[in-house]
């Protein structure tokens, strides 16, 4: 027997396996393409011949393949090894797929945890790396050390498999909001004759406002404390309207700043002009998609 098994040895899966090995755990590995297991085998991992052998080799197996449905396909072919085992699923997928996986594993007599990795492979094992994981409190207590080996700042966020898809979408939207903000900012600069290098060099100055923006959100949104903000929705709306006017004057594509203005106006129309901008969350929640 080994301490832990890892199924799926792409860049991420290999990084997960190596983190466990570095922590001193004995590791069994398996991959559909055997050549991907060879480097880990050379460094001391046990290479299993089949997925069932890998699962049978350890009390806990980490799965990191393309998607939850692919994980189900792998595990269905190894179902005889599942009873009494715990699967920590770190593949990607939607809420319904995660719930289907959980039902499958429960029906097969196995326990499960499902997580998302908020990192690139080279960040695995870092103290600040975060895996967000769902599972029971008992499972988190038992297997939290394994998970924190892969990401020192990992967190337990509930016990419903499907919630992670929504959390991933929410957090990914935050990151992509920043990326698309830079892309649209670049469009305005190109129209204005500002070099991409100058814009790129100045972005970190704007990033200095990220912490105050987060603090604004964290002190208003969680408790719906929208009164007496440091900047009101009216203030934000005026600034956003100025930005949109600049995009229009430049002849630059303006879908993103126009979205910002439209959302702020929804909040204003609801009578929230003196509240925090984050009050628009409740307006949009009630309003639904257009």
- Round to whole Å and give the CA distance between 113 and 79: 17
Residues with Cβ within 8 Å of 33's Cβ and at least 6 positions away in sequence, in order, are none
pTM above the 0.85 mark? no
pLDDT score at 22: 97
Predicted confidence at residue 93, as pLDDT, reads: 86
Instruction: Name the one residue in this structure whose structure tokens are 């590995």.
Output: 29
Q: 157-178 pLDDT, tens per residue?
A: 999 998 888 888 888 899 999 9
What mean pLDDT, rounded, does the chain reach? 95
Distance, in Å, from the CA atom of 15 to the CA atom of 44, rounded to the nearest integer, reads 14
At residue 174's C-alpha, the angle toward residues 170 and 177, to 5°, is 130
Q: Do β-strands 46-47 and 60-63 pair in parallel, antiparallel, or remain unpaired?
A: unpaired
Q: Give the fold, CATH level 3, of 4-159.
A: Rossmann fold (3.40.50)
Which residues in the chain come in under a pLDDT of 70?
A: 288-290
Are the C-beta atoms of 220 and 226 separated by less than 8 Å?
A: yes
The pLDDT score that the predictor gives to residue 67 is: 93
| CATH match for 165-287 among 1.10.3720.10, 1.10.1040.10, 1.10.1130.10, 1.10.10.10 | 1.10.1040.10
What are the structural domain ranges in the chain?
Answer: 4-159, 165-287
Look at residue 290 in the predicted model and tell me its pLDDT: 57
pLDDT of residue 282: 95
What is the Cα–Cα distance from 7 to 19, expressed in whole angstroms? 14
β partners of residue 67? 92
């Amino acid at each position: 027997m080994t301490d832990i098994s890892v199924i799926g040895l792409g860049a991420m899966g290999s990084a997960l396996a190596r983190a466990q090995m570095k922590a001193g755990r004995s590791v069994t590995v398996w991959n559909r393409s055997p050549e991907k297991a060879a480097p880990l085998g050379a460094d001391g991992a046990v290479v299993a011949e089949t997925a069932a052998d890998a699962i049978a080799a350890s009390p806990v197996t980490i799965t990191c393949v393309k998607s939850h449905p692919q994980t189900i396909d792998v595990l269905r072919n190894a179902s005889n090894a599942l009873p009494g085992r715990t699967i920590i699923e770190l593949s990607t997928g939607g809420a319904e797929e995660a719930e289907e996986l959980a039902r499958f594993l429960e029906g097969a007599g196995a326990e499960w945890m499902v997580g998302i990795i908020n990192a690139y492979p080279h960040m695995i094992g870092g103290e600040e790396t975060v895996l967000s994981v769902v599972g029971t409190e008992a499972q988190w207590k038992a297997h939290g050390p394994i998970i924190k080996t892969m990401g020192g700042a990992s967190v337990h966020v509930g016990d419903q498999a499907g919630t992670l898809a929504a959390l991933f979408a929410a957090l990914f939207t935050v990151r992509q909001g920043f990326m698309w903000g830079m892309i649209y900012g670049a469009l305005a600069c190109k129209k204005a004759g500002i070099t991409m290098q100058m814009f790129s060099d100045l972005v970190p100055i704007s990033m200095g406002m990220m912490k105050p923006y987060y603090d604004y959100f964290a002190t208003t949104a969680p408790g719906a404390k929208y009164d007496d903000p440091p900047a009101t929705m009216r203030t934000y709306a005026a600034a956003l309207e100025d930005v949109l006017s600049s995009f229009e004057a430049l002849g630059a594509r303006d879908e993103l700043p126009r979205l910002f203005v439209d959302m702020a106006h929804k909040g204003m129309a609801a009578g929230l002009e003196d509240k925090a901008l984050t009050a628009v969350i409740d307006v949009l929640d009630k309003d639904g998609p257009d």
